[in-house]
Amino acid sequence: MQFHNILTSIALTGCVALSAFTPAHAQTVETRKTAADEAILDMSQAFKRGDIKGLNALLPKVEGHVLEPWGAYWALRARLDQASPGEIQAFLTRYIGTYQEDRLRNDWLLMLGQRREWNTFMVEHPSYRMGDDRSVRCYALLTEFSARQIEVANLVEALWLSQPNADEACAAAAEQQLKAGKLKAHSAWVRARLGMENDRPRVATQALGLLNGDWADTASAIYSKPEQFLEGRVLALRPRTKELVTLALIRMAVADPEAAALEVDKLRWKTQLTQEERSWIWGVIGKRSALKLSNGALAHFMNGQDKFMHDDHLAWKTRAALRAGNWEQVASATAAMSEGQAKDSTWVYWRARALAALGKTEADRAEATRLLQSIASVRGFYEQLALEELGQRIIAPPAPIALSLEEKDGARLNPGLQRSLHAIRIGLRTEGVREWNYSTNLHQRGGMGDRELLAAADLACQREVWDRCINTSERTKVEMDFTQRFPMPHKAAVLQRTAQIGLDPAYVYGLIRQESRFIMDARSGVGAAGLMQVMPPTASWTAKKIGLTDFKPHQITDRDTNIAIGTGYLKLVLDDFAGSMPMAAAAYNAGPSRPRNWRGQPGAPVLEAAIWAENVPFNETRDYVKKVLSNTTNYAALISGQPQSLKNRLGLVGPKSANSTTPDANLP
C-alpha cells in the first residue's frame, strides 16, 4: 500500500491490527539508528516546522515501524483543521487503543469546541480516555448543560478558577453559567483578583469582560496604574466600584505591599470595603511581604480574616507564622484551608506540630498524633519528619515479592511501553515520556496496579531509563521497591569521587536523583547539563578551582567529568555554609547569594531547617531542598543499612555568626 494515501484508504480497507506495526518483543538496545528511525526523527522536525509537504513525503518510509503511530499522528495533526471527518475517523480506527489515538481525539475535541460543532463533539467525547485537558472538560460541561440543563456550575467554577491563563473554553462555560444565573458574579470577580495578583492581566480582563464589556479597558488601566485609579475615588457604596477598588489595591500590593498596607488602612476603605474584600487584600499584602521574608508579614495577615483568604494566602500565612514561632496562627491558618489543600502532607504535618505545641486539651494532643500517623512513612520529606515526631527512624522498607516472569512479560510486551522505550532510545525523549506515562496510567481501564507498575519500572531500570524507572515505581500505593525508587547508577565512580573529597555519597545521589534522574545527556532550559546539571560558566570556574586544567566546555556531559565538577562545586558550597545540607542544596539550585540572604540578618531567629526551607521564596528551590534532603536520607538508609534521621541532616538555620569565616564571594 502506498503510505501517503493510507489515511484516506484505511476507511476502505478496514482496521489494521496493532500488531502490524508493533514488534512482538521489546526492542533491544542498538548502537545505531535504522533508516526508518532517521525518517521518524525527520518527521519530528518537520512537524515542529509545520512542514505538511515534508511530512507527507516521509510518511511512507515509516510504515511498519514501531513508531509509525507517531509519524501518522504528526502528518494528520499538522493539517487537522483541513482534514475531513472520514480521515480523522480512519486514523482513530487504525490506531485504536494507542496514546496517539487519544492525543488526536483530544486535539480534535478542542477544535470542535472552538468551532462550536457540538453534535460531533458530543458523539466523540465519550471515547476520550485521557480526560486531563481542562479545556476539553469545560467544553463538555458546556454541552451537557445545553443538552440536559444539568447542574454543572460548581464544576465549571472549579475548572475556571484553576486555569492559570485566559482560556476560551472555560470562559465560555463560565459565561453560560453566569447568564443562566447558576454562577454568581462574585466568581468572575475572584477570577479577576487572581489575574491581578498573579500577573495575568488577560485573565482579569477576560473575567471582567464577561460581566461588562466596557470593563476590559478598566481592568487594563488598573493593572498598569492602580494608584492613579484609586486617586480621588469615591465609592458611594456602589458594589461594582468597590470591587474595582479591590482589584486596584491587590495590584498595588503586588508591586509595593507596604504602600498598599497604608492605603487599605485608610478610613474610607475601612468603612466602605467589606470584610471579605479587605481580608483578600490583606492576604495579598501578607503573601508579598512573606515572599520578602519581612518580619511584618504575619501582622499584615492578621489584619484580615482567615475564612475569607485564598488557599495560597493561607499557605504563606502559615509559613510566616512558623517563622515567627506563632503556633496559634499556624493552627488558625491550616484550619481555614480548603479540604483538598488541608490534606497535603505539608499542612497536615505543620497542623499536627501546632496542635502538639499548643497542647490545650487532651483531644488536641490526640488529634496531633492522629494527623502524624496519617502521613508517617518514608515516601517524602514531611512523611519522614512525621515518622520522627512519632519517635521512629527512617529505614528502607522490605523488598516486595520478586516479580514473576509473567509479570515481567506483561510489561515487556506492552506496545505503548515498547514505543516509549524506542522513542527515548533514538532521541525522542519528550514523546517517549508522554507515551510511557499514558501507558502506565492506562486511562482505558483505570490505571496499573502496584505489581504492574513495579514490572514497568523494572523494565525501565533494565534499559537504564532511570527517570521512568523512578517515577513509575514512586506511584505504587502499597508495595515499595527502594532499589527502583532510589537506584545507584555509576556507583563506583560516585563512591570513588565522594571518598576523595570527603562528601557523603547519599547526599550526592540525593541531589543527582532530583537534578537529572540520572539522564546522562540531560539539559535544562537554561543550559545546565549532565548528571549533576552544571551550568557552563559554573563548570569552567569549578574546573579551575579543583585543578581540572584541561577542561573543555564540550566535556560537560562526560560522566566522570560531570561528576568531578558537580561534586567539587557541591563540596565548595557545603563548606561555605558550614556543612548545612539544606543551605548548600539551596545554593546549588539558586546560587549561593540567595540562601545567604534567606538565612536572615544578625538578630534574626535561629530556625528549624524545615521551617527555613518551607519559607524559601522560590517555589522550585523550596521543593528542591526538601526533595534532595528526603532523597539523601533514604539513600543513606540503603547504603548503610542503618536507621536514619532526616532531622539530624536538617539541623538549624540562622544568621551567620560573627566568628564564622567570610563566605567565598566568588562562588558562582
SS3 644: strand
SS3 246: helix
Alpha helices, H only, 50-152: 52-58, 68-77, 85-94, 99-115, 118-124, 134-148
SS3 133: coil
Return the amino acid letter for 599: R
- Neighbouring-strand partners of residue 498: none
For the chain, the C-alpha Rg in angstroms (whole number) is 28
DSSP letter string, 421-489: HHHHHTT-HHHHHHHHHHHHHTGGGT---HHHHHHHHHHHHHTT-HHHHHHHHTT-SS---HHHHS--T
Cβ-proximal residues to 176 (8 Å cutoff; 6+ apart), any chain? 142, 145, 146, 156
Q: Is residue 276 among the annotated active site residues?
A: no
Residue carrying C-alpha cell 495590584: 251
> Is residue 457 a contact partner of residue 472, using CB atoms and an 8 Å limit?
yes
DSSP letter string, 5-45: GHHHHHHHH-PPPGGGTS-SSPPPP-SS--HHHHHHHHHHH
Closest residue by Cα to residue 583 from 566, 570, 601? 570
| Per-residue CA distances from 240 to 9, 213, 378, 432 (Å) | 59, 14, 51, 50
What is the distance between the alpha carbons of residues 481 and 486, in angstroms, rounded to a whole number? 9
What is the distance between the alpha carbons of residues 617 and 622, in angstroms, rounded to a whole number? 7
What is the distance between the alpha carbons of residues 156 and 170, in angstroms, rounded to a whole number? 7
> Is residue 191 a contact partner of residue 203, using CB atoms and an 8 Å limit?
yes
289-299 b/e (C-beta count within 10 Å ≥ 16 → b) = bbbebbebbbe
Cα 368 to the center of its chain, rounded Å: 29
> Is residue 318 a contact partner of residue 350, using CB atoms and an 8 Å limit?
yes
Looking at 63, 68, 101, 515, which residue is catalytic?
Answer: 515
> Is residue 519 a contact partner of residue 466, using CB atoms and an 8 Å limit?
yes
Return the amino acid letter for 514: Q
The DSSP call for residue 344 is S
H-helix or E-strand spanning residue 607? strand 607-608
Catalytic residues: 515
